[in-house]
Amino acid sequence: MSGNSGNLVGGSAVISCPHGGRASAASAQTGVRLDGLPVPTGADAFTVSGCPHTVDRVPHPCTTIRWSPGPDSVLVDGAPVLLDTTHALCFTAALVPQGRPLVSSVPQGVHCR
């Protein structure tokens, strides 16, 4: 089994930062669709909204997610698809890492090995 095994993150997946902010693909424009929604890839920009994280009562919300797909990832339109096991980190606007995002995939029967 490949190190890139996992469930495909479809457009209907719920992605959040570790503090409860919601993430969405700001640019999912692939030609491949799953349940009528574009399949997000590692080339898409993911933004986080509603993160309540603070440090010493000063807001430090997550604002983006950066995904790091492996070199042998499955490609869609030349970009690596995202699996629920793909390495990713949430960042503040100042690019301070805040932890891994949480991915709740909607079961659709698509699994990559």
pLDDT at 2: 43
**Gap between the Cα atoms of 21 and 93, Å rounded:** 14
Report pTM. 0.83
Contact 17, 98 (CB under 8 A): yes
Contact 17, 99 (CB under 8 A): yes
| 3-class secondary-structure state, position 68 | strand
pLDDT at 20: 97
Pair of tokens at residue 32: 């491949």
pLDDT at 109: 52
- Among 61, 50, 59, which residue's Cα sits nearest to residue 24? 50
pLDDT at 97: 97
- Among 5, 2, 7, which residue's Cα sits nearest to residue 34? 7
pLDDT at 65: 96
What are the pLDDT tens digits along the chain (113 aa)?
344 678 888 888 899 999 999 999 877 666 788 778 888 888 888 999 999 999 999 999 999 999 999 888 888 888 898 988 899 999 999 999 999 999 986 555 554 55
